[in-house]
Structure 1
Amino acid sequence: MDTPITTITDLSVVLKRLRLERGLTQKRLGEKMGLSQKRISSIEAHPDRVSLDQLLTVLMALGAQLQVRTLNAGSDTIADTRKKAPW
């Protein structure tokens, strides 16, 4: 399933959904990765506070991957994106 992620909240929801779809508790996923249940909870709640490496590791443990797609190729430049971005 492809799920567009445009906000940190989207990423948080997707991580939790992937875990639940695989029938894993936070504790079991943590055991699978060598992390505590508390750390898995923190990653799901605040994915913006983890390194890209750890995020990719979590996704791999959940049988998922990160893909980047261009939108309207050629129409958006970095400068255009900065004007639209909430930051």
Structure 2
Amino acid sequence: MPIEIGTEYTRQYNEFDGDTFTWKMHTHCDQIAQKLINFKECDDGGASSDNFYWSVVYKYEEITGLVSSGKSLSEMLDVVRKELKL
């Protein structure tokens, strides 16, 4: 999701297999990722945006007992943030 101007975010500079890139994430999304993702299970020790998205989907469905179809990531994040008290 876009990071609006003035919003607090986390920024990382990364090097992997000779490539470099910058990863930016909302602070609250970083906190959610730390709670939901087992980084040791990720292929390269890091989580992708897909890992994050599906972790949020699974947690949302676990919390609500509802299917996530038709829900935006933002809507699901609100529910997950409240559940995790972030």
Instruction: Bin the TM-score by the shorter chain.
Output: 0.3 to 0.5
More strand by share: 2
TM-score, normalised by the number of residues in structure 1 = 0.33
